């Protein structure tokens, strides 16, 4: 019985993520989530309270997963530059593994009428930012990196990858390019990772 409940909970999250990607947050109803997941409405309310609760849970799970990855990178005995490169590759892989969800997430959290959702995941986002920033600060302390505006460095990475996902034609002026195709996704990811690694390595290691 316990396993079945866990499976139903996960089924709700999986179904909701799929629907959010296909029809957006506003276009998805709890009734649709119920039908897609095979869980009744009472179960959705019991676990999450509302559609917003489901969305917040999905976001927090994603933030926690990336946070675990950042902790591992932080604790690894490699150079600051290697840590930076791993963070860039890890973030790019995570974003481009499901570009449709990232586009939806970015759109929903950017809307002025969604401050309550943003506030509910703000702590998880803040923790990840601090873990990322620690890599940069540690590199600055040991002399690997010069002093820089660390939050702007992080924003450069996140902003570049988000921009690629939202408007890939800015960097791929090809009408046949499809971000959902594995070969195209790999090509743009490799380009983005190489660009950001080169750009920020030069920026952070070049003395003023």
Q: Each residue of 26-56: pLDDT tens digit?
A: 889 999 999 999 999 999 999 999 999 999 8
This prediction has a pTM of 0.86
Please tell me the distance from the alpha carbon of residue 72 to that of residue 204, in angstroms, as a whole number.
Answer: 22
Report pLDDT for 1: 42
Residue 5's pLDDT is what? 55
Give residue 47's pLDDT.
Answer: 94
Task: Please calculate the CA angle 88-93-99 and round it to the nearest 5 degrees.
Answer: 120
Does domain 1-49 sit in CATH 2.40.160.20? no
What gap in Å lies between CA 104 and CA 166, rounded to an integer? 10
| Block residue for tokens 């993520």 | 17
Q: In this predicted structure, what is the pLDDT of residue 11? A: 95
Q: State the average pLDDT over residues 94-106.
A: 85
Cα separations (Å) of 64 from 24, 59, 69, 96? 23, 9, 9, 17
Reply yes or no on whether the pLDDT at 78 is more than 50: yes
Percent of the chain with pLDDT over 70: 94
CATH topology of domain 54-205: Tetracycline Repressor; domain 2 (1.10.357)
Work out the pLDDT band at 25, boundaries 50, 70, 90: confident
Number of C-beta neighbours around residue 6 at 10 A = 10
Residue-range domain boundaries for the chain: 1-49, 54-205
> Range with the lowest mean pLDDT among 72-81, 171-180, 194-203?
171-180
Please report which helix (H) or strand (E) contains residue 67, including its range.
Answer: helix 51-75
Average pLDDT, the chain: 89
Contacts of 120 (CB under 8 A, 6+ apart): 56
Q: How confident is the model at residue 122 (pLDDT cuts 50, 70, 90)?
A: confident
Residue 130 confidence (pLDDT): 94
pLDDT at 4 over 60: no
Nearest-angstrom CA–CA distance, 105 and 109:
6
């Amino acid at each position: 019985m316990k396993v079945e409940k866990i499976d139903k909970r996960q089924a709700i999250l999986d179904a909701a993520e799929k629907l959010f990607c296909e029809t957006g947050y506003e276009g998805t109803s709890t009734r649709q989530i119920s039908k897609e997941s095979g869980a009744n409405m009472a179960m959705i309310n019991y676990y999450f309270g509302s559609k917003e609760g489901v969305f917040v849970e999905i976001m927090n799970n994603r933030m926690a997963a990336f946070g675990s990855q950042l902790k591992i990178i932080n604790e690894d005995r490699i150079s600051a530059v290697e840590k930076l490169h791993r963070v860039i590759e890890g973030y790019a892989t995570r974003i481009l593994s499901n570009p449709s969800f990232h586009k939806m997430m970015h759109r929903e959290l950017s809307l002025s009428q969604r401050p309550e959702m943003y506030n509910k995941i703000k702590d998880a986002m803040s923790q990840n930012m601090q873990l990322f920033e620690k890599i940069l600060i540690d590199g600055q302390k040991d002399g690997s990196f010069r002093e820089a505006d660390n939050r702007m460095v992080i924003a450069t990475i996140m902003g570049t990858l988000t921009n690629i996902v939202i408007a890939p034609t800015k960097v791929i002026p090809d009408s046949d390019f499809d971000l959902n195709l594995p070969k195209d996704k790999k090509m743009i990811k490799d380009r983005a990772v190489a660009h950001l690694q080169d750009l920020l390595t030069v920026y952070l290691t070049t003395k003023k």
